[in-house]
Amino acid sequence: MAAGHWAGRTVLVTGGLGFIGSHFVEELLGLGARVLCLYRRDHPEVRAELPVTEALTALRVDVLDERALRAAADTVPGIDMVVNCATLDGNMQFLLQEPGRMLDENMRIVSHVLNLARDRAVPDVVLISSAEIYAYDETRPAREEDDHRRHMEFSPNGYRMSKMFTEVLADLYRTQFGMNIYTPRPTNVYGPRDDFATTTNHVIPNMLMRLAAGQDVEVWGDGSQLRTFIHVHDLVRAVLCMARSGEYPALNIGTPEAVSIRDLAFLVAQAAGQDQDRIRFAPDKPVGAARRALDLERFHKVVDFTPRPLKDGLRDTARWYRKNVLEVQ
């Protein structure tokens, strides 16, 4: 990573104490940037992991409050980039019960961030998108062109719809205002500071928590469905490479390392130091698409590093979980 590019720049990170946002804050500080970290919910355990430095300003701000967002932005003399990691997400029950709220709040967050960046003439804006924008029935790896320009379909998943409309709004703001907006589209993200709440819908934290609680890991179907994962730190580094290069407004972010959910369960058990015989299968449960993968041709042109293998990332995540969750309970 070219530290000199970010040294002395001021970056506003929304959702700055969240899973992905906190890693942006940490990485940017390490590269010499000044960071304005905005957060809605305080996470003292995350704040304790961040560097203690005058280059970090952390403010509790609800980005849904546009006046509060603009007032916070006024506390720094100039902003060179905004990275929006603020988003309303939740487990499957929440996704099904409150899709309208999820779409509404996430779109208002994006609108407030874009309007702030437009009015302050911020040179670069990053809106963290998702590989969820792609159709679920694709039989080949999804390319960046396979987005809303190719097809637009309704989904009862408010989170997915919010990511699709985020990209539509970004396109229109690029056209109307000439703004430099990036929409990275990561595959499944995992790593330290992930959501380890008991209601989490994230597969890797769910497996780690069940194993730690002495419970079996349930794999739906026969576990042959293939997925890809990327460590959160590698995601952050890739996005910063994307913004530094300025070559592509949209970019798939992932690794070519596809893994079956069955093998993922075995790898998580191994990383956690648990017996693999605690994995059982539920053949009557839905499994989703047989394979979901991203075309990474652009990704390999932009990034200047090789993402870590899944096995190494899982060990890192399991170590963090033992130290920062299990040992403090």
Catalytic center residues: 159
Conformation bin of residue 36: beta by default, left when phi > 0, alpha when psi is -120 to 50: beta
Question: What is the DSSP code (8-state) at residue 216?
Answer: P
Show the tokens assigned to 74: 């006024």
Q: Which two tokens stand for residue 127?
A: 């809106």
Closest CA to 129 of 71, 177, 170: 170
Rg (CA), the chain: 19
- Taking a C-beta distance cutoff of 8 angstroms, is the pair 71, 45 a contact? no
In angstroms, the CA 162 to CA 76 distance is 29
State how far the Cα of 114 lies from the Cα of 121, in Å rounded to an integer.
10
- Contacts of 57 by beta carbon, 8 Å cutoff, 6+ apart: 34, 35, 36, 37, 75, 76
Alpha helix ranges (H) inside the chain? 3-6, 19-30, 44-47, 66-73, 92-97, 99-119, 158-177, 203-212, 232-245, 261-272, 297-302, 310-321
State the number of CA atoms in the 13 A half-sphere of 296 facing the CB.
18
Total residues found in the chain within this entry: 329
Neighbouring residues of 221: CB distance < 8 A, sequence distance ≥ 6: 261, 281, 282, 283, 285, 286, 287
